[in-house]
Chains A and B, each alone.
Chain A
Amino acid sequence: MIGWKIFYLLVFPGLLFTGVLGLIVGWVDRKLSARLQFRVGPPFFQNFNDFLKLLGKETIIVKDSIKSVFVATPLAAFGFLVLISTMIGLALFFHEGFVGDLFVIMYLLMIFSVLVILGGSSTGNVYSSIGSGREIKLLLADELAFILICLIPIIKSGYQIQLKNILEVQSVQGPFISSVSGAIAFVIGILCIQAKMTLPPFHIPEAETEIVGGPYMEYSGPLLAFWQLNHYMMFVIYPFLLIALFLGGFDLHGIGILWAVLKYLLIIVIMILIKNTNPRIRIDTALNFFWRYATPISFIGIILAVFGV
């Protein structure tokens, strides 16, 4: 039994699967962005080469930084993401899990943002500190809307708090996106993902042209490689979570594999299109958007879900 658990964690659906798929999807992101801008784009193994190259570079540990936090945060964030991907993957592919795993996933996803904040503020660099401050504000902006949209599948599945049971209810009733409240939650969910992954238009904490990479500015070599890998792994984790919550999961038999790939690509392509068609917004605009529009709409979605619409 222990052997299988280690296999789940390290190979499928944990570390190896999420890492490799994340880097491939990162290439899809870069290539599609390039094609949308009428460029050629990078070759297929570009992200693998970037990752391996960064592993071999010199690591500079900044003199003024809190060294233990500076080194530990990217690795800890990587560990948390492996854990989250294993939990989501177990529910999606093997229909396993424990009671309340959806709440644990929500907590761990929040811890990732906290680790970015810690890593950025440990460097002692002004730009990194500004980036961390913006990350805090962005977390405050999107977290409530994200929690509310995660509650909608729970309500619609008859108050099941286990991903496995939510998937079972969906396989009987049909995906939750076919209902009004589910559709609302899906749309708000994609916007929340955009903010949680700090993709444009919500790349306020990183803002390369403004605060030179924000929290990641002082990182170099293998530590930066792990931040990059974390970013690409989130390209797997968040779409999988949305698929599990709203699109009815994967049915890996026969034609179902094609549907699974199409579901995943649909979410990825929507994210890339939003990314490429929107400029960066200010932090107050982001707060305004999430608190004035996204959160009340998700509240309305919850009320609709309670009435069973």
Chain B
Amino acid sequence: MGWYNKRLAKSLWVFHVSGSPCNNCDIEILDLITPAFDVERFGLKLVGSIRHADVLLVTGIFNQKIAPRIKKIYEQAPKPIFVVAVGTCMSGDCCFKDSYNKVKKREDIIPIDLYIPGCPPKPEAMIAGVVKLIGVLNG
């Protein structure tokens, strides 16, 4: 599978889903496709449909309402799919850690492969994270 993983590493198509975020991370994610950062260099592309995606990019905390929907989106994706969690909310609950409506453990909903902390993470940090994913795929 090494040969196929190299192909996969060169063309990761990203589907972006917001799990009740404050929108800061989403704005920073859109910075990635602007001329200053241009992740199409690595073959990354934002796609509109989860059926086309290789990477599921999630932001925000998972509350009780959004959790089943995130699970449904994950199940609709063609495998292999990698889940990248962006933001401090995803990696450490941030200021919502005592919220009554958040799910106990995100990893019970979907398996998460990569955390990118930051509130919001800088585009450089996100590129560094994605390059780590590519490095793992390349072996």
Q: Confirm or deny: B135 has a beta carbon within 8 angstroms of a beta carbon on chain A.
A: no
Q: Say which one of A50-58, A191-199, A253-261, A263-271 lies at the interface with B.
A: A50-58
Indicate if the CB atoms of B40 and A220 lie closer than 8 Å. Answer: no
17 pairs from A and B in contact (CB 8 Å cutoff): A34-B38, A39-B40, A40-B38, A41-B40, A42-B40, A42-B43, A46-B11, A49-B11, A53-B4, A58-B78, A58-B80, A208-B47, A208-B48, A212-B48, A216-B52, A218-B51, A224-B51
- Cross-chain contact A46 with B8 (CB below 8 angstroms): no
Q: Which residues of B contact A30 (CB under 8 A)?
A: 40
Contact B78 A221 (CB under 8 A): yes
Q: Are B41 and A213 in contact (CB under 8 A)?
A: no
Contact of A52 among B7, B41, B76 (CB under 8 A): B7
- Considering the complex, which residues of chain A in the window 233-268 have a beta carbon less than 8 Å from any beta carbon of chain B? none
What residues make up the interface of B, taking CB atoms closer than 8 Å to A? 4, 7-8, 10-11, 35, 38, 40-41, 43, 47-49, 51-52, 54, 76, 78-80
**Is B76 a contact of A213 with CB atoms below 8 Å?**
no
Complex Cα distance, B51 from A50, in Å, reads 14
B54 and A53 contacting across the interface, CB-CB below 8 Å? yes
| Closest CB in chain B relative to A140 CB, distance in Å | 25
Partner of B78, one of A52, A59, A213: A59
B40's contact among A40, A60, A218, by CB below 8 Å, is which? A40
Task: Pick the contact of A42: B4, B41, B78, B80 (CB < 8 A).
Answer: B41
Name the contact of A217 in the complex, choosing from B11, B35, B51 (C-beta under 8 A).
B51
Q: B47 contacts which chain A residues (CB < 8 A)?
A: 208, 213
Indicate whether A68 reaches chain B with its CB closer than 8 angstroms.
no
A52 to B51, CA, bound (A): 16
| Residue of chain A at shortest CB distance from B33 | A39
Main SS of chain A's interface residues? Answer: loop
A213 touches which of B8, B52, B54 (Cβ 8 Å): B52
Report the separation of the CA atoms of residues A224 and B13 in the bound assembly, to the nearest whole angstrom. Answer: 13
The closest CB in chain B to the CB of A123 belongs to B51
Question: Known: A43-B43, A217-B48. Contact between A53 and B78, CB under 8 A?
Answer: no
Whole-angstrom CA separation of A58 from B54 in the bound complex: 11
B49: chain A residues at CB < 8 Å are 212-213, 216-218
Q: Are A220 and B11 in contact (CB under 8 A)?
A: no
B89 CB to closest chain A CB, in angstroms? 25
**In the complex, are the beta carbons of A50 and B38 less than 8 A apart?**
no
Please measure, in the bound complex, the distance between the C-alpha atom of A46 and the C-alpha atom of B7, giving whole angstroms.
9
Question: Given that A213-B52, A218-B51, A224-B52 are known contacts, is A39 also in contact with B4, CB under 8 Å in the complex?
Answer: no
Bound-state CA distance A216–B43 (Å) is 20
Which residue among B48, B51, B52 has the maximum number of chain A CB atoms within 10 Å of its CB?
Answer: B51
- Minimum CB–CB distance from A230 to chain B (whole Å) comes to 15
Q: Are A41 and B41 in contact (CB under 8 A)?
A: yes
A209 to B47, CA, bound (A): 9
Complex Cα spacing A40 to B48, Å: 22
Q: Find the B residue at minimum CB distance from A38.
A: B35
Complex A-B, nearest 3 residue pairs according to Cβ-Cβ distance, in ascending order: A212-B48, A220-B51, A58-B78
Say how far B90's CB is from chain A's closest CB, in angstroms: 24
